[in-house]
Chains A and B, each alone.
Chain A
Amino acid sequence: MAIVRILWLFIFVQLALGSWLCPGADAHRVYVFAWVEGETVFTESYFSSRSPVVHGKIQVFDLSGQKLLEGTTDSKGMFSFNYKKAMDLKIVLDAGMGHRAEYVLRASEFPEKERENNPSTQPESPRRGGAPGKQETGPGIPEILVGLGLIFVIMAVAMYLWPKRRT
């Protein structure tokens, strides 16, 4: 009996605190990010828990929807390809189980385009160490509290409006 109570307590504590202890530790939102280094376009795919999307399918389209190429992410969630000319690219990640993300890489983010637009600008040195804009993460405590608060408000409104006796 004591074991059952302890197990119950554990489950309730995990349910209550799980989101506080590991906010964003989920696998149902994926992100894909792309950037250019030299003549290569790098993509990085990751879940909101920041774990990489392994063997995710990457498809690259132009903005008219024509598929240019496709590939698979490696064990670090990376996939890269060489480009021939600077152009707007839509990069689509299919992480399986209905998880999908998109990223639009603008032609202005390519070094050649930057040089054309502003000849005085020196080419940017290659960035190392992963996606430079990898800022997005899972939900934090404020979003969770707002959600719970909204459920409480919906409950209160429903109780106010609901007929107390239904036939």
Chain B
Amino acid sequence: MHISEGVLSVPVLVGGGAIALAGTSVGLKKIEFDRIPHVAVLSAAFFVASLIHVPVGPSSVHLLLNGLVGLLLGWSAFPAILVALVLQAVLFQFGGFTTLGVNTSVMALPAVVCYGLFKPMISSPRSWVSLAGAFLCGGMAVLGGAVLVALCLALTGEAFYPAAKLIVAAHLPVMAIEGLVSALCIRFLKKVRPEVLELVYGNR
């Protein structure tokens, strides 16, 4: 879901850039010294996740992991995703510099929203509620990203519904995979490194 250069209109690019700037500012302020390695690890995971493709019909889509990044970083997902997208643009020529702000917003905004929405579920002491929250966070963040891409295209002139339908349909397998990855990740961290979750969700 890297929007290429030359696709979007200037107001959409500026709007996306402004949201990315604001989100990154908030995210940077929320990063504590001890959490910098966590942010770096998740930025690296986001950076390589896009290289893992999922065949869908004649085309293929790639993993995003924005839900997992939001799940474990909250607002700090913005700087983590921004760094990964800058490196993808420089090294892989994915997306582009003019669309960097929009692409960051499209990926990080749903991640932060899902983090806020599903935080109570993930914080639950009941294991199945926590896992269900992580699954929904992983899957819904992908859905949110797909809808935002369609919205950006619609604001530039494409019809919203067909674009959204196409993008969401193509990313249904990714939603399922990322929901599963997020749930397993939470389960793993709760058992092996619960302090990582305590930093984000507080003591439970």
Contact = CB atoms under 8 A, between A and B. Distances in A.
A binds B: yes
Interface of A: 4, 7-8, 11, 14-15, 18-19, 22-30, 47, 49, 51-54, 75, 94, 96-102, 138-139, 143-144, 146-148, 150-152, 154-155, 158-159, 162-166
Contacts of B1: 28, 97-98
A35 B166 CA distance: 31
Given A101-B4, A150-B87, A143 B48 contact: no
| Residues of B contacting A: mostly | helix
A38 B149 CA distance: 41
18 contacts: A4-B184, A4-B187, A18-B51, A24-B51, A25-B51, A25-B60, A27-B61, A28-B1, A30-B4, A51-B59, A52-B58, A98-B8, A100-B6, A148-B48, A151-B40, A155-B37, A165-B33, A166-B33
A90 to B, nearest CB: 11
B58 A29 contact: no
Contact of B51 (A23, A53, A54, A94): A23
Nearest to B54: A27
Contact of B7 (A27, A98, A159, A165): A98
Interface string B41-55: 001110111111100
Contacts of A14: 52
B122 interface: no
A27 B47 contact: no
B184 A154 contact: no
| Residues of A contacting B: mostly | mixed
A18 to B, nearest CB: 4
Interface stretch (B19-27, B91-99, B111-119, B195-203): B91-99
Contacts of B71: none
Contacts of B83: 151, 154
A81 to B, nearest CB: 22
Nearest to A94: B7
A147 B88 contact: yes
A11 B180 CA distance: 10
B149 A18 contact: no
Give the interface centre of B45, B50, B51, B84 by most chain A CB atoms within 10 Å: B51
A102 B2 contact: no
B59 A54 contact: yes
Contact of B36 (A138, A159, A165): A159
Contact of A162 (B8, B36, B44, B167): B36
Nearest to A136: B93
A98 B4 contact: yes
Contacts of A101: 4
A143 B87 CA distance: 9
B178 to A, nearest CB: 11
Contacts of A151: 40, 43-44, 47, 83-84, 87
A152 B48 CA distance: 14
Contacts of B33: 159, 162-166
Contacts of A102: 6
A139 B167 contact: no
Interface in B141-200: 149, 152-153, 163, 166-167, 170, 181, 184, 187-188
A139 B91 contact: yes
